[in-house]
Structure 1
Amino acid sequence: MSPIFLLSLILQVGCCVHVVRSGRPLYWVLILLMFSYLAVLVYVIVAVVPDMRMRRSGDRVLRKVRAHLDPGRDARAASLQAEVADTPENRRRLAIECLRTGDFAGAEQAYRRALRGIYAHDPDMLLGLARAQLGLDQPADALATLTTLAEANPGYRSYDADLLHANLLDILGRTEEALRRFEAVAPNYPGEEARVRLGQLLRQAGHTDRAAEQFRDSIARAQAAPAYYQREQKAWLEIARRELATLTA
């Protein structure tokens, strides 16, 4: 039996099983058996791929509903897993869940327990620790953590780390440094937060014309972007429009 024929047979049988399990019309079985590779290709496009997309969409909806009904479920599971096996990876997962639910003290503790041994300077975990420290209203400690991250990982690049660094400088009143950092991050940041925050800082520093230009640029960028991007960035775009309306009133 040739490999080509064998592969065709395997694909045909697999698709026929999918037909039966998914409850599709049985004429698909006849089509698949008669037309081999062409029928398999058509069936995958019109049936298998849509089913996979619907399944992923359904899984996302289920996760959202579950998170709404029991927001602490994943955090409890991560905590139990970390107690059973106290590994850096399990502590990292627990820390991420704590951050998600706003338990910044729990996140800080989990990150500190994970940042040991070969993971002592893990850049992603240091970034998470800095976020937890900011949530605990410890901006100076968070900035020190980011400094440690940069010194220990000179090749590490993260838009989120750069934005957090700029925000911390702003919170600590180091306005000129914050402006320079925001101006470096904003042009390529994958979202409108950095650009809108830059506009707000420019306005606070008295650079109203530059601030208005920044808000206009953010709005124009989003208008030229796909609809899904506009939905994702809706909150920041509303801030940009309000700020611009105030400046031009």
Structure 2
Amino acid sequence: MSPILVLSILLQIACCVHVVRSGRPLYWMLFLMMFSYLAVLVYVVAAVIPDLRAGPSGQRAMRKVRNQLDPGRGARAASRQLQVADTPENRRRLAEESLRTGDFASAEVAYRGALKGLYADDPDLMLGLAQAQHGLGQPADALQTLQSMWSANPNYRSHEADLLHARVLADTGALEEALQRFDSVARGYPGEEARVRYGQLLRQGGHNTQAAEQFRESLQRSQTAPGYYKREQKTWLDIAKRELAAIGG
């Protein structure tokens, strides 16, 4: 059987399955079986693509593509919305988009603008401000913001806040305190970033044996992890491999 014919049949079957699962009229199946590639193309454009765009996973994929093609798109849209209506939510959105794109100066201004009135002690906004300050190379300011955040919100819990706390301690020269903090954070952090950064700080302090243990654990954990986890953590796993090789492990 011709490979072209086999591919046509497989595509037709896949589209027919989509017809049934999506609850579309069954005349689509007759159309698909009669007109082969043309019918498949029409059906994909008319039904499959709109379904992908409407679903949560499809929307996430579309946002990811848009962000890669135009990283500043979200920040520009948020800025326009803020000009139309100067609300805490619009300031929050602009701050988050600026932080996401690495525009830390704009993010700091936006977060400070949002931290007013009822939101003056909002822990998520304060964490965002601390992240912006850290991005600007102001670890002492970031540390002060984090301390104020926990003082105002003693029950607030955030893995990102814990990791940032360990990083700013290291950047302010409190290496021993930072190592203790990293040791605690790495145990419960949902990913490999904390463990790899902990290993890097250990190596920086000359603790190569302990550093190698952290890098090995990250790599060993990934061996039994599902594929999506390996893809999400690829950057940090690659760093762990390079660091371990540099140590000689």
Task: Decide: shared fold, TM above 0.5.
Answer: yes
Cα distance per residue 1:207-237 (max 9 Å; x no partner): 2211111111111111111111011111111
The equivalent residue for 1:93 is 93
Cα distance per residue 1:38-88 (max 9 Å; x no partner): xxxxxxxxxx9xx85675344334333333333222211111111221111
| Distance of 1:139 and 1:124 partners within structure 2 | 18
| Distance of 1:16 and 1:187 partners within structure 2 | 42
The answer (yes or no) to whether the contact 1:19–1:25 under 8 Å persists in 2 is no
- How big is the shift at 1:16? 11
1:25 aligns with one of 16, 26, 29? 29
With the length of structure 1 as denominator, give the TM-score of the two structures: 0.78
- How big is the shift at 1:123? 0.3
| 1:172 partner amino acid | T
The answer (yes or no) to whether the contact 2:95–2:106 under 8 Å persists in 1 is yes
The equivalent residue for 1:233 is 233
- How big is the shift at 1:23? 6.3
With the length of structure 2 as denominator, give the TM-score of the two structures: 0.78
1:121-200 aligned at under 5 Å gives the runs: 121-200=121-200
The equivalent residue for 2:14 is none
| Distance of 1:113 and 1:189 partners within structure 2 | 30
- How big is the shift at 1:17? 9.8
| Distance of 1:55 and 1:86 partners within structure 2 | 30
The equivalent residue for 1:66 is 66
Describe the SS at the equivalent of 1:75: helix
| Distance of 1:17 and 1:192 partners within structure 2 | 38
The equivalent residue for 1:104 is 104
| 1:196 partner amino acid | V
| Distance of 1:97 and 1:221 partners within structure 2 | 32
- How big is the shift at 1:105? 1.1
Q: Does 1:247 align with 2:239?
A: no
Gaps of 5+ in 2: 1-19, 31-46
Cα distance per residue 1:181-208 (max 9 Å; x no partner): 0011001100000001111111122222
Change (3 A) 1:214 1:67: closer
| Distance of 2:159 and 2:135 partners within structure 1 | 19
Describe the SS at the equivalent of 1:19: coil
The answer (yes or no) to whether the contact 1:130–1:141 under 8 Å persists in 2 is yes
Change (3 A) 1:23 1:241: farther
The sequence identity of aligned pairs, in percent, is 63
| Distance of 2:160 and 2:24 partners within structure 1 | 45
Change (3 A) 1:160 1:135: same
| Distance of 1:168 and 1:17 partners within structure 2 | 50
Change (3 A) 1:88 1:23: farther
1:70-89 aligned at under 5 Å gives the runs: 70-89=70-89
| Distance of 1:69 and 1:203 partners within structure 2 | 37
Describe the SS at the equivalent of 1:24: helix
Note the aligned Cα RMSD (angstroms): 2.7
The answer (yes or no) to whether the contact 2:92–2:125 under 8 Å persists in 1 is yes
Gaps of 5+ in 1: 1-14, 27-47
The equivalent residue for 1:113 is 113
The answer (yes or no) to whether the contact 2:202–2:211 under 8 Å persists in 1 is yes
Number of residue pairs matched by the alignment: 214
Which has the higher mean CA deviation after the structures are superposed, 54-63 or 188-197?
54-63
Which has the higher mean CA deviation after the structures are superposed, 191-200 or 238-247?
238-247
Describe the SS at the equivalent of 1:25: helix
| Distance of 1:23 and 1:67 partners within structure 2 | 38
User: Runs of 4+ in structure 1 displaced over 4 angstroms?
Assistant: 15-18, 51-55
| Distance of 1:53 and 1:62 partners within structure 2 | 9
